[in-house]
Amino acid sequence: MHCHRHILDRSPRWIVLLVGIWIACCTELQAQAVIQGRVTLPKARPSVVVNQRYEIVVQGGVLAVHPPVAVVYLEGKFPASPSQPLARMEQKGLLFHPAILPVRAGTRVEFPNLDNTYHNIFSYSAPKRFDLGRYRPDDRPIPSQVFDVPGLVTLRCDIHEHMRALILVLDTPYFVVTDTDGRFRLEGLPAGRYLLKAWVDSRTTREHGVELTADNVTTIDFP
């Protein structure tokens, strides 16, 4: 004990501070829970064929493929985020990336155009109705919108009718997108009783009550 105090006494103050933060973080992590599992996903949708009837000089064919995934999130009362979160929904290769983007309510989502052509993103969905107009890849600032009402927002492009994506606005900071096999792992969860939900599509949201305890990994499958 004496030796330990001696080392601390001789160390610069910032090392002491870092060690303190590290210990605090470890303690915090150890107190957090993990949920993992698998969501049974629907069958993949057929590829979307791009309408090129009248724009005869076009950039080759595009078969837009969006394998199904689900969004798993923890529903409950959580403190507000201290800063406004930022997320990105890109347009690349005449497709949206990612095809589904879960965000916490209040998130600003940027829509960078990474194609060598105009895009015109719009939504008629009730939680967020907007139309960004036509914009180039080099337009700055990157067009963005704040999504502050929970719900499902369908994005489309007014120029490329095959383009479609979803933004799932959630009232929780704890969410994750499954992989294409439906597997997920949700980490850093606070202990307590919650409802775990799996959003599969606009008509299908499965749910499961969970009681999370610190340092525990819970496995939940959504058949």
Residue of the chain from 107, 125, 172, 178 that contacts another protein (CB under 8 A): 125
State which of residues 39, 50, 72, 165 lies at the interface with another protein (CB under 8 A): 50
Neighbour-count burial of 88, counting CB atoms closer than 10 A to its CB (0-12 exposed, 13-18 middle, 19+ buried)? middle
Q: Which of 61, 79, 82, 223 binds another protein (CB under 8 A)?
A: 61
Measure the CA–CA gap between 208 and 188, rounded to whole angstroms.
18
Candidate list 16, 40, 84, 133; residue touching another protein; CB under 8 A: 133
Residue from the set 1, 3, 56, 80 that interacts with another protein by CB under 8 A: 56
**Which segment (2-10, 85-93, 152-160, 189-197) binds another protein by CB under 8 A?**
152-160
What is the DSSP annotation of 25-61? HHHHHHT-EEEEEEEPPPPPPPPEEP--SS--S-S--
140 near another protein (CB under 8 A): no
Q: Which residue in 73, 96, 111, 135 binds another protein (CB under 8 A)?
A: 135
Non-local (6+) Cβ contacts of 43 within 8 A are 68
Inter-residue contact 83 to 89 (CB < 8 Å): no
For residue 125, the minimal CB distance to another protein (Å) is 7
Sheet bearing 107-110, strands edge to edge:
86-88, 107-110, 144-147
Rounded CA gap, 84 and 61, in Å? 39
Contact status: 92 vs another protein (CB under 8 A): no
The residues binding another protein (CB under 8 A) are 45-63, 65, 117-118, 122-126, 129-136, 152, 154, 156, 202-203
